[in-house]
Amino acid sequence: MFFDEIKDKIKQISIKDYLETVYGCEFKRVGNSWFCLSPLRAENNPSFSVKMPEENFWYDFGIGEGGDIFKLVQKLENCTFMEAYERLKNFLGIVPEMKNRKVEKILKKNNLDKAQHAQSFYRTIVKTSNEILIRRYFKTFGLPFYTEFGVAEYTSIKGEQFVVFPCPDKTNIISLECRAIKTINGYIEEVRDEYGKKIKRTIGNKYPWVFYRTSEAIVTESIFDCLAGELIYGNHLTLVALNGVGNVKLLPDVIHKYNLTTVHLALDNDEPGKIATQKAIELIPNEIDTFIKKDHVRAGVKDLYQLIKIKAEKEELCWQKLSKK
């Protein structure tokens, strides 16, 4: 009796809400149905429909199948009915990082876990991720790339394109750092807002990005700076990007989690960066060897990525002069 009651309640879960919340699907209304890009396969034009609220039935025109929410979860997660039942029972532990009243209401009502949403969303987009584009992305910005990063890309239903970094790493996802990009005539550019600021989005609970190698680490504010740090100081270092100065409070947790013994701080050469550096020094345990990298400060630039760009420009100028002789 109890099982049937729960099952009936689960059947009432809106399929549209579930897909928006767990898989980040974006819907558009067409007549009496809602359409999105299929979460079951890769496609460019939305052909996955949901009829609601009365019917609460899904249909994927690409594969010619449909059904209730139980069948959908079984196909999405490749699981049995009972496994789908358990996952749907725990649905109230999942929420997306979206700034709207509807989701804020869900969050407040159900105390949802953002990290679980980040994990589910990553599992979905990594299936159809474009590795060629990702490699081109790193090459465009002159940064090292390793498949172990687990970087993925996805395009929203609105046509917005993102490169996604799982944080702290792909095996232990707490958040996803999404950087907006655009591709023009084969060239990749980062998208900026009207004030020239890079457009970023966080899915999940904001957390530093880590690429572990050894117990000696370099700590920067952004992922780009971290990768630039490898080019400057060598690829023997563990890379730690705070993903914002606000995350400096999480540095002791990262040090403990990855058993770090030596930390090189290379935060931005600006007022927030200087304050964060001082805060980091106060937070890092006394037994940890701590050093401050000042190469970018001496060069008069903001961060390590700016430093490698200057070096690359100088090398390019030297090459041009030599080639003319």
Q: What pLDDT, on the 0 to 100 scale, is given for residue 13? A: 80
Any domain includes 88: yes
Residue 31 has φ and ψ, to the nearest 5°, of: 65, -125
- Decide if 325 is inside a domain: no
- Is residue 129 domain-resident? yes
Domain match, 33 and 18 both: yes
Alpha helices in the chain (DSSP H): 2-11, 15-23, 69-77, 81-89, 101-110, 114-125, 131-140, 223-233, 251-257, 271-283, 295-298, 304-324
**8 in the same domain as 96:** yes
Task: Give me the pLDDT at residue 296, please.
Answer: 94
Both 198 and 218 in a single domain?
no
Using the 3D structure, point to which of 174, 204, 234 is the last residue of a domain: 204
pLDDT at 6: 63
Segments forming the whole domain that contains residue 256: 209-308
> CATH number, domain at 285?
3.40.1360.10
Mean pLDDT by 10 residues, the chain (325 residues): 62 82 82 88 87 81 90 87 78 41 47 71 82 92 94 80 94 92 85 81 90 97 96 95 93 95 96 93 95 94 93 58 46
- Domain total of the chain: 3
In a domain, 322, yes or no: no
Q: What is the pLDDT of residue 81?
A: 87
**Which pLDDT score is estimated for 314?**
63
> Of 112, 141, 160, at which residue does a domain stop?
112
Q: Whats the size of the chain, residue-wise?
A: 325
The model's pTM: 0.67
Per-residue pLDDT, 100: 44
Q: What's residue 325's pLDDT?
A: 46
Q: Does residue 236 lie in a domain region?
A: yes
pLDDT computed for residue 121 by the predictor: 83
Q: Which of 79, 112, 145 is the last residue of a domain?
A: 112
Q: Is residue 318 part of a domain?
A: no
- Regarding whether 223 and 197 lie in a shared domain, the answer is no
User: Are residues 215 and 181 both part of a single domain?
Assistant: no
